[in-house]
Amino acid sequence: MDFLGSTKDNGMLTVLFSFSESILPPESRSFLLEPLFLRWVSGFLHAVLLLVLFCSWVRDKIRRNNGYVVVTESLKYRRDFEFKSAMFCSVALSLLNLVLMSLSGFHWYESGWSDEEELVSLVGFLSGMVSWGILSICLHRCSDCEHKKSPFLIRLWLVFYLAVSCYSLVVDIVMYKRHKTVTVHLLVYNIVAFSAALFLGYVAFFKKARGNDSNGVLEEPLLNGESSVLELNKANGSDEATPYSKAGILGLLTFSWMSPLINLGNMKALDLEDVPQLHDNDSVVKLAPKFRIMLESSDGGGERSGVTTFKLMKALFFSAQWEIIVTAFLVFIYTVASYVGPALIDTFVQYLNGRRQYNNEGYVLVITFFVAKVVECLSQRHWFFRLQKVGIRMRSSLVAMIYEKGLTLSCHSKQGRTSGEIINFMTVDAERIGNFSWYMHDPWMVLLQVGLALWILYRNLGLASLAALIATILVMLVNIPFGRMQERFQEKLMEAKDNRMKSTSEILRNMRILKLQGWEMKFLSKIFDLRKSEEGWLKKYVYNSAIISFVFWGAPTLVSVSTFGACILLGIPLESGKILSALATFRILQEPIYNLPDTISMLVQTKVSLDRIASYLCLDNLQPDVVERLPQGSSDIAVEVTNSTLSWDVSSANPTLKDINFKVFNGMKVAVCGTVGSGKSSLLSSILGEVPKISGSLKVCGTKAYVAQSPWIQSGKIEDNILFGKPMERERYEKVLEACSLKKDLEILSFGDQTVIGERGINLSGGQKQRIQIARALYQDADIYLFDDPFSAVDAHTGSHLFKEVLLGLLCSKSVIYVTHQVEFLPAADLILFMKDGRISQAGKYNDILNSGTDFMELIGAHQEALAVVNSVDTNSVSETSALGEENGVVRDDAIGFDGKQEGQDLKNDKPDSGEPQRQLVQEEEREKGSVALSVYWKYITLAYGGALVPFILLAQVLFQLLQIGSNYWMAWATPVSKDVEATVNLSTLMIVYVALAVGSSLCILFRATLLVTAGYKTATELFHRMHHCIFRSPMSFFDSTPSGRIMNRASTDQSAVDLDIPYQFGSVAITVIQLIGIIGVMSQVSWLVFLVFIPVVAASIWYQRYYIAAARELSRLVGVCKAPLIQHFAETISGSTTIRSFSQESRFRSDNMRLSDGYSRPKFYSAGAMEWLCFRLDVLSSLTFAFSLVFLISIPTGVIDPSLAGLAVTYGLSLNTMQAWLIWTLCNLENKIISVERILQYASVPGEPPLVIESNRPEQSWPSRGEVDIRDLQVRYAPHMPLVLRGITCTFKGGLRTGIVGRTGSGKSTLIQTLFRIVEPSAGEIRIDGVNILTIGLHDLRLRLSIIPQDPTMFEGTVRSNLDPLEEYTDDQIWEALDKCQLGDEVRKKEQKLDSSVSENGENWSMGQRQLVCLGRVLLKRSKILVNDEATASVDTATDYLIQKTLRDHFADCTVITIAHRISSVIDSDMVLLLGNGIIEEYDSPVRLLEDKSSSFGKLVAEYTARSSSSFD
């Protein structure tokens, strides 16, 4: 083969050598051209390099105690491309010397250890390998050191080395031109050496200035152990140019743009701030509008009501069409390149058998194999990366669409889809569609691969290839029924998962109620029942997957048996070269066929997810035309409703609101009152445009602000909740805080208005949440204010203050419509609307409607009665004296206006450690750092049957591999190399043995697949039960400080990974390891020298993997951590969508969602880049190994080894790079996925509450018999790092007496009750009930013996019966009796299904007051000796309140009743009143005695209530 063209083209070389020949004597001339002399000089130079390195090391060891620096400062612009390339050059030269040393050793052995030339070459290559290896180690080790002086000796050596390399190369070329024998591998070595010397010289001499400049910026922070990379990126404007967008062509090809981040991950645990931003094209901010346009254009008219699965797919395709087309081209290139090897194997075997077609054919074949592998590697890596990028884009776009739909969903549509379901669309379905991008091209790629395979088979085996085609089609047809079953199982599995997540979401929201009632284990069993249904479908799904896996793993065997059988029947001669080519083709065909089950499964899952999302996007939005919005200031009428009939359910025969007519002029105050369930809240909702309109018109002029009955608070700072997107105006902000009585509350809180509120305002009292809501509305400075009974959750004084300062103060010039149950707030209204049965039965001013009908009179009458009770107690108190004195340890102070400074001082003194900084209640989500502990892997493996199945799974795979290799070995050995050679065995024996081995291997696969899914299913079930049991047994403090998004993330995403992914990841690692060992075994049978190359390559691969995994692991963890805020924000948006819409804040919330979505996409994007960075490098190493193996084979003289076995080695070697890269990839992927197990185990080890039952200390069955509660020096704090809430309370609640607890919002009333139920464990002190210390008995023994009507009225999805009696302890008659007593009997009887009437999520189809009455019904059923009434009448009107109080008096006359109430009438007739302030008792005595003392705080409170009730607030 002519390497260099004609001699004419090399005239300069001819002149040069003519000159040298003229000045040198003949003997010198011949000596200088001897290869032996050149090898000796090269070896000597390398020995000199070793000496230089050693001297430099010794010198520097003496000077600086760091011997690695001085040898490489000349290559010093470290971490840039040149430095890394220099290091790579050194490694490559070391490996090349290793290979050539091995070849020389082999030839020396062949010559009987007598060839001196080979010995000199061996020593020369050995010194080259060692010196370049040490230099590469020095380069690597010095990468974090700083040195400024350039080493002269290294540069001098490089000059000599360049000269010698150049001389050697010129000699080789001239000798070749003179038609003298030149060893090709030495020529290649000289070319590589010369190129490397040129490059290293360039780096050493010309990159110095740039390197020195970099020292100050890049090196110093690393020396100081600090991470200044982030600041550097920020300074350079990392938002404008990302590493990916500014990478050069070489950086993009080799994924070098990921190197800085991976390097940073090796220096420190990565945080989100370290992860660069996404490029604009990958950010959801740019993607979402584009996707919306695509979806609307595909829908024809822009209305998304008609979204179908096809339209959704079409929009997804066109939103990323360029990337998809590019990846399709890369897939085509990859597929063609992967079949180059099988196509050439027959030629290669014939070459080894001695049949040469032209000179240097072997080297041409090797180069072809190698180039094909490199092209295959590059195309596959970029195909994978770009498709992952497409997946991230698709997921982001879908999440944005789902979120937007959640903001515009009508209430009727929302009732059909619970928040848990909607969250699942985002967490599971959108995620799955994003993951489908991996499999996007697989369906047509399989066809292309099958086509190419058939072409190669036809070339080698003729018509027998038709048998292969028929067998392949049969395999695919067999899959159709299994695929359909898989789709059905997937649908059912997702439905079951939705139901479970829906219940989990509801239970987590109401965990406090469940723990107070002692119901948590009952509801846990409900979750377990739902999971059992899910597990049924999961079991069917995974076992069906096992059958599909068996079919397709057995498919290549079936295809090969069919093909070879057809050859025998058709009389086509079987030669080993053709057989090996066919086997190599089948092996490559194996990959798509192995992956086909996954592809089909993914297609099925994606189709189900697309269907679900499309059906969700088709749901009805809010009617845009319900309310006609007039321009601001265009009318003096703020709200006008004319002949309007509206209904939550348009199809219902009984509309929610009927014939509504009223006008609200600018500046008017309109009060809405009426009995429970009369339609008051629905009236406000209709003005907001939430209720579908049947007829009539609604007009609104101006901006709106809305305060809901149930407070909706975002997790985040109090300040952010109040500002709600508006810029800070300090003066207005302070006025709002003052008006809402929030200043004193903020003084109590450790961080003031910077305090982070837990999920749903968990660390605030009901009153505080309501006042923050009001402050939020006030700060918006809207034109129209809608208040839905905001004063019910606050105490009397605060309610009075709010009404004066807010409605009559700051909002004096605004239009206000307020729903209220407090009659005393009605006289101040310009217009009162009295609601009854969905109609306005009376309307007018207070005095006008008082005399015009009976309905309003009844409401006022009930209020007057309650007031009379207060007045009678007040009057009676005149004849009594106060019994309150020093013996009770009471400190008299103003219960309402206590001194804030004094209180702040008390709190400060009560901090657990004055030197310890205060911490927020809600902390950042924990994430493990560093490598995943081996204990996590071990726990996962041994969780199912103690790990007993694992050895059998491994044994089945080992047997499969042995049988596969055996069958291929048998075919290669038993068939002749060519037609001339006689076959070793007859054809029938050949096929019988082959079929037997093939059937055996298929049975092993069936055994392995079944055991693997059994172990995975059992492990997933066990992990689910452990985590949920631990969560449900966690103390309430865990739920207070843990947003439900974090728990939901583990229960959905992480559990899905454990259910469906991780078993296969473990299986994949084991399978790949066994296959790789098999490949190495086969290749080493041919030549043990393969090990010499393989060992350093494996070492390099492991080093790369360890280098990569530090960053990849943290990126994967960040993906998990960044997902929870996205879910939480989504859940909060769904629950607060009415409030968000009322403030017209949709665009801000969309932006927040996009920001969080990009925050989640960032670590995913760079995690994908890191994976491809690693795989590219591993692929290159594997390709080099394969190329070197081929060089060994062509260098061995003909006849030394069997060509058939050599061909078999090549057949297996073709998949070496794939297998090696796949092994590292699966290991890394497993470590990334196992984080889901780590996160689940994290919540499976949360410290639990004290035992539910202590068998050794159970109270008597009749306990408590008297109901006496004795509290001694009680101190309570919510967490060790938080201040005391109750600070040394001592008092006794006598058995059978009614005790009222009053006090300002946040004074500790609810905390005292929680401590009684041991929701919060006391820090000090004790509580005894009938002499039994409640801290010494089980929690259920305590909680099930007490009753509570909680502050937040709660109903669960289910039926009326299941809400009243979840433990199923009572008969229907008892339940009806309780319903009648709590005034709900008639309401339930009206419903068609009576006790089985449905209750929607959170009881949304029942009014707030009705929910409160259901809570009363529960305690009437339970009839405990101690009843706690925690602000239970806050959401009902005065008349209903009076009935509740009467019911409690009648049915709990002999019980201890502890009431926390805002209405003085609720506690005025109590036997005792306890007044709390700032966590201490301020007053405790009978109401009569307290009222007698005119200076008492309680007296002032009653006087305030009486004055307010008698006043019209004019």
Q: What's the pLDDT at 1014?
A: 92
- The mean-pLDDT minimum among 530-534, 546-550, 599-603 falls in 599-603
Angle formed at CA 380 by CA 78 and CA 1009, multiple of 5 degrees: 115
How many percent of the chain have pLDDT more than 70? 79
DSSP character at residue 924: P
For residue 743, the tally of other CB atoms under 10 A from its CB is 14
CA atoms within 13 A on the CB side of 911: 14
State the average pLDDT for the chain.
76
Instruction: Specify which residues 787 forms β-bridges with.
Output: 707, 818
Do the beta carbons of residue 1382 and residue 1414 sit within 8 Å? yes
Q: What is the mean pLDDT of residues 977-993?
A: 71
Q: What's the pLDDT at 209?
A: 38
Interatomic CA distance for residues 989 and 565, integer angstroms? 12
Find where tokens 């077609």 sit. Answer: 357
Residue 1411 burial (C-beta neighbours within 10 Å; 0-12, 13-18, 19+): buried
Do the beta carbons of residue 1309 and residue 1476 sit within 8 Å? yes
Distances (CA, A) of 1170 to 261, 873, 1224: 9, 77, 13
For residue 223, the tally of other CB atoms under 10 A from its CB is 11
Q: Which structure tokens are listed for 1242? A: 């994290």
Interatomic CA distance for residues 397 and 405, integer angstroms? 12
Interatomic CA distance for residues 1059 and 542, integer angstroms? 9
Sheet containing strand 657-665, edge to edge, reads 628-630, 693-701, 637-646, 657-665
Residue-wise over 882-909: b if at least 16 C-beta within 10 A, else e?
bebeeeeebeebebbebeeeebeebbee
Q: Quick one: pLDDT band at residue 84, thresholds 50, 70, 90? A: low
- The mean-pLDDT minimum among 73-82, 554-563, 697-706, 1398-1407 falls in 73-82
Do the beta carbons of residue 580 and residue 345 sit within 8 Å? yes
Distance of CA 289 to the CA centre of its chain: 24
Q: What is the mean pLDDT of residues 979-992?
A: 71
Could you list the beta-strand ranges (E) of 54-131. none
What sign results for the dihedral spanned by CA atoms 936, 940, 946, 952? negative
Do the beta carbons of residue 1245 and residue 1013 sit within 8 Å? no
DSSP character at residue 1059: I
Pure H helices in 618-689:
680-688
Q: What are phi and psi of 817, to 5 degrees?
A: -115, 120
Instruction: Specify which residues 1367 forms β-bridges with.
Output: none
- Closest residue by Cα to residue 471 from 577, 572, 555: 555
- Structure confidence by residue, pLDDT tens digits, 685-711: 888 888 888 888 888 888 888 988 878
Instruction: Give the list of residues 6+ apart from residue 129 with CB closer than 8 angstroms, or none.
Output: 94, 95, 97, 98, 101
**Pseudo-torsion of CA 1082, 1087, 1093, 1094, nearest 10°?**
20
Distance of CA 887 to the CA centre of its chain: 59
Helix, strand or coil for residue 1280?
coil
Q: What's the pLDDT at 1393?
A: 74
- Structure confidence by residue, pLDDT tens digits, 1326-1349: 898 888 888 888 888 888 888 888
The H or E element spanning position 506 is: helix 465-509
DSSP result, 1178-1201: HHHHHHHHHHHHHHHHHHSPTTSS
Instruction: Give the list of residues 6+ apart from residue 1344 with CB closer than 8 angstroms, or none.
Output: 518
Is it the case that residue 311 has pLDDT exceeding 70?
yes
Do the beta carbons of residue 890 and residue 1484 sit within 8 Å? yes
Q: Quick one: pLDDT band at residue 1509, thresholds 50, 70, 90? A: low
Q: How many residues does the chain have?
A: 1514
- The mean-pLDDT minimum among 179-183, 389-393, 856-860, 1342-1346 falls in 179-183
- Structure confidence by residue, pLDDT tens digits, 6-24: 333 444 444 334 434 443 4
- Closest residue by Cα to residue 376 from 336, 416, 435: 336
Q: What's the pLDDT at 867?
A: 63
Question: 132-141, 344-353, 1037-1046, 1194-1203 — which one is most confidently predicted on average?
Answer: 1037-1046
Q: What's the pLDDT at 1184?
A: 81
Do the beta carbons of residue 402 and residue 614 sit within 8 Å? no
Distance of CA 459 to the CA centre of its chain: 50
Q: Which structure tokens are listed for 587? A: 């092996």
Distances (CA, A) of 1453 to 304, 358, 872: 60, 111, 21
Q: What is the mean pLDDT of residues 940-955?
A: 89
Long-range pairs of 269-272 with CB within 8 A, sequence gap ≥ 24: 269/929, 269/930, 269/1114, 270/1111, 270/1114, 270/1115, 270/1118, 271/1118, 272/1118, 272/1121, 272/1122, 272/1159, 272/1162, 272/1163
Interatomic CA distance for residues 1130 and 288, integer angstroms? 16
Is it the case that residue 215 has pLDDT exceeding 50?
no
Interatomic CA distance for residues 751 and 748, integer angstroms? 9
Question: 397-401, 488-492, 717-721 — which one is most confidently predicted on average?
Answer: 397-401
Q: What is the mean pLDDT of residues 318-340?
A: 85
Interatomic CA distance for residues 658 and 656, integer angstroms? 7
CA atoms within 13 A on the CB side of 1403: 23
Is it the case that residue 5 has pLDDT exceeding 60?
no
Q: What is the mean pLDDT of residues 119-147?
A: 67
- The mean-pLDDT minimum among 632-641, 827-836, 898-907, 997-1006 falls in 898-907
What sign results for the dihedral spanned by CA atoms 985, 988, 989, 993? positive
Q: What is the mean pLDDT of residues 734-762?
A: 78
Is it the case that residue 421 has pLDDT exceeding 80?
no
Q: Quick one: pLDDT band at residue 1030, thresholds 50, 70, 90? A: very high
- Closest residue by Cα to residue 642 from 680, 707, 686: 686
Higher pLDDT, 38 or 1270: 1270
Helix, strand or coil for residue 1367?
coil
Q: What's the pLDDT at 291?
A: 85
Higher pLDDT, 15 or 769: 769
- Closest residue by Cα to residue 511 from 924, 922, 1033: 1033
Q: Which structure tokens are listed for 624? A: 């845009």
Interatomic CA distance for residues 882 and 1489, integer angstroms? 4
Helix, strand or coil for residue 865?
helix
For residue 141, the tally of other CB atoms under 10 A from its CB is 15
Q: Quick one: pLDDT band at residue 467, thresholds 50, 70, 90? A: confident
Is it the case that residue 479 has pLDDT exceeding 80?
no
Is it the case that residue 176 has pLDDT exceeding 80?
no
Q: Which structure tokens are listed for 27? A: 């003997």
Find where tokens 């001819």 sit. Answer: 14
How many percent of the chain have pLDDT more than 90? 3
Q: Quick one: pLDDT band at residue 889, thresholds 50, 70, 90? A: very low
Q: What's the pLDDT at 929?
A: 56
Q: Quick one: pLDDT band at residue 943, thresholds 50, 70, 90? A: confident
Q: What's the pLDDT at 33?
A: 58
Question: 60-74, 1191-1205, 1374-1388, 1423-1437 — which one is most confidently predicted on average?
Answer: 1374-1388
CA atoms within 13 A on the CB side of 1496: 31
Distance of CA 629 to the CA centre of its chain: 41
- Closest residue by Cα to residue 116 from 129, 103, 128, 104: 104
Q: What's the pLDDT at 1077?
A: 85
